[in-house]
Amino acid sequence: MPSVAAATLGKEPLPVRKAALRTFRDANGAAVDQVVATYYQAPASYTGEDMLEFGFHGGVAVVERALGALIDLPGLGLAEPGAFTRRAVLAGKLDLLEAEAVADLVEAETEAQRAQALSQLGGGVSQIYDMWRAALVEALSAIEVSVDFPDEGDVGSAPERAAAAPIERLSRDLGTALASARAGLQVRSGTQIAIIGPPNAGKSSFLNALAGRDVAIVTDRPGTTRDVLETRLNLNGHLVRVCDTAGLRETGDEVEAEGVRRAQALAAECDVLVGIYDVGDGPGRGPDFFGLEPDLVLANKIDLLPGTANVSCETFAVSAQTGEGLDAVLAELSKRIEHTAPSQGAAVITRQRHLEAVSAAKSALERAGSGLSRGAPPELVAEDVRQAIRALGSAVGRVDVEDVLGSIFSSFCIGK
């Protein structure tokens, strides 16, 4: 690194971890820009290696000349997405959970996402996984005593009994973490709200009213929304992904029928289902949601029927056009999202990868627990506990790091 500094900033040595104002020069000695350069000496840097940071003025011409000058130096090239964090992981500066938290923090759009990512970045979540692992390592050594000294009276059975309690406790803790997994995943990737209802009920208008802009096409021609249209919104600090769907109706049109099928599939898997109907649509007939049961029902277009009386108390009377009644709907949606979200920063499972690791650990522990109670050979019980330890270790990146590096860093942005 000192050689890169010498080639671009001159012979005068850079101070360590202090900003220095220098002239950046190309290979011919021509000045390219005035820069603030900061030299981080290994191992006290983000990646654990020597690092040199330049603060250029930016601008197309400066960046082009400066990059050209740097790339011409031996051993230098452009960084791939997540290249710095990958190096930090390989140098043991960050574990996998912390590396993922870097990506989540960079991509955080809402306060809830930021808080969750930051608590994961601080190592708090890794500590929980490590604590789980440590308890299991202890249980494993107790069981291994039984494997090593099988013939020594009841030496085998006592340590095994000692292992049963921590295994059971941990299995319960993992179960609790899995039960709240949906909340952590939901904060990270957003709460999915699907809007369903008959054609022309005002689904697209409602989506536009929520978004505060025109994201969906509004027409009085039924059947215009044929695919699922997703909009991301920040609702009181929580990311929500609101999906407008094709109007639910029997149709001979193949494309529209596929839209209806997709709407039904989405309705089955979303976090909050909002059903909307036109309050003037055949009074007394009530809403028809094709057998689906929305969490929230909106009776829309109340501006056309002032003093609407036939709306039941669970239904929100709204006008997507005038905005009447929408505040109450937003308040109800926020309440539901906050109810499912974890208390800030408490989530230990925020990605599918963590969910799979914890599920695998729990299954292995259940096998170990039932093996112990059946009096199964300690070798087999020990193997199940080892699998659980491995699964938890893979979440943090204590084992099998190389296997997951590719998929984790492919989603990173360049420069991190």
Question: Cβ closer to ligand GDP: 200 or 350?
Answer: 200
Question: Cβ closer to ligand GDP: 277 or 412?
Answer: 277
Q: Helices then strands (H, E): number in the chain?
A: 14, 9
Considering only residues 302 to 321 of the shown chain, the ones binding ligand GDP according to CB under 6 A are 303-304, 319-321
Q: Is 226 in the site for ligand GDP (CB under 6 A)?
A: no
Nearest to 23 by CA among 37, 38, 13, 3: 37
8 A C-beta contact, residue 104 and residue 113:
yes
Considering only residues 228 to 247 of the shown chain, the ones binding ligand GDP according to CB under 6 A are 247
Question: Cβ closer to ligand GDP: 40 or 206?
Answer: 206
Choose, by CB under 6 A, the member of 219, 310, 352, 411 that binds ligand GDP: 219
Choose, by CB under 6 A, the member of 220, 250, 314, 402 that binds ligand GDP: 220
Choices 19-27, 249-257, 300-308, 309-317; region in contact with ligand GDP by CB under 6 A: 300-308
Question: Cβ closer to ligand GDP: 210 or 361?
Answer: 210
Residue 177 C-beta: closest distance to ligand GDP, Å: 40
Residue 266 C-beta: closest distance to ligand GDP, Å: 15
Residue 206 C-beta: closest distance to ligand GDP, Å: 7
Question: Cβ closer to ligand GDP: 288 or 338?
Answer: 288
Where helices occur in 78-192 by DSSP H, the ranges are 83-90, 96-107, 111-121, 124-148, 157-179, 181-189
Choose, by CB under 6 A, the member of 8, 146, 171, 225 that binds ligand GDP: 225
Site for ligand GDP (CB under 6 A): how many residues?
20
Residue 111, number of CB atoms within 10 A of its CB: 14
Distance CA 414, CA 363 (A): 38
The pair of structure tokens assigned to 54 is 């330049």
Compute the chain's Rg from CA coordinates.
29
Please state the φ and ψ torsions of residue 291, each to the nearest 5 degrees.
Answer: 80, -5
Question: Cβ closer to ligand GDP: 183 or 207?
Answer: 207
Distance CA 161, CA 381 (A): 12
Q: Is 413 exposed, middle or buried (0-12, 13-18, 19+ CB in 10 A)?
A: exposed
Helix (H, G, I), strand (E, B) or coil at 354: helix
Q: Is 331 exposed, middle or buried (0-12, 13-18, 19+ CB in 10 A)?
A: exposed
Residue 239 C-beta: closest distance to ligand GDP, Å: 23
Distances (CA, A) of 308 to 283, 304, 331: 10, 9, 21
Residue 58 C-beta: closest distance to ligand GDP, Å: 43
Residue 303 C-beta: closest distance to ligand GDP, Å: 5
The residues, any chain, with a CB within 8 Å of residue 3's CB and separated by 6 or more, are none
Choose, by CB under 6 A, the member of 300, 315, 350, 394 that binds ligand GDP: 300
Question: Cβ closer to ligand GDP: 190 or 199?
Answer: 199
**Bond before 378 cis per omega within 30 degrees:** no
Over the window 138 to 177, marking each residue x when it contacts ligand GDP by CB under 6 A and - when it does not, the resulting string is: ----------------------------------------
Residue 131 C-beta: closest distance to ligand GDP, Å: 50
Residue 290 C-beta: closest distance to ligand GDP, Å: 14
Residue 321 C-beta: closest distance to ligand GDP, Å: 3
Considering only residues 195 to 214 of the shown chain, the ones binding ligand GDP according to CB under 6 A are 197, 199-205
Residue 315 C-beta: closest distance to ligand GDP, Å: 14
Choose, by CB under 6 A, the member of 22, 65, 226, 301 that binds ligand GDP: 301
**At CA 30, angle to CA 24 and CA 36, rounded to 5?**
10
Residue 297 C-beta: closest distance to ligand GDP, Å: 14
Question: Cβ closer to ligand GDP: 242 or 320?
Answer: 320
For residue 9, the surrounding DSSP H or E stretch is helix 2-9
Torsion of CA 215, 217, 220, 223, to 10 degrees: -120
Q: Is 71 exposed, middle or buried (0-12, 13-18, 19+ CB in 10 A)?
A: exposed
List of residues contacting ligand GDP (CB under 6 A): 197, 199-205, 218-220, 225, 247, 300-301, 303-304, 319-321
